[in-house]
Amino acid sequence: MNIKKAAYIVSQINEVVNNWSKYAEETKVNPALRDAINKTLINLNN
């Protein structure tokens, strides 16, 4: 399997994941749940 532009795809996914709190607030996710989920997310650029 050959995935072209893998680094670009991972970067785009990471950008979306890093914006979780913003999306959660926009959709009115319970703040306690928002924060609990946020603690489990991994930044792939580090």
Question: DSSP string spanning 1-46?
Answer: ---TTHHHHHHHHHHHHHTHHHHHHHTT--HHHHHHHHHH---TT-
Q: Kindly state whether residue 1 falls inside one of the protein's structural domains.
A: no
The Cα diameter of the chain in Å comes to 40
Judge contact between 44 and 14, C-beta under 8 A. yes
Q: Which stretches of the chain score pLDDT less than 70? A: 1, 46
Residue-level pLDDT at 1: 62
Count of domains forming the chain: 1
Which pLDDT score is estimated for 46? 64
Q: Which of 35, 41, 37 is nearest to 13 (CA)?
A: 41
14 inside domain: yes
Domain range enclosing 19: 6-40
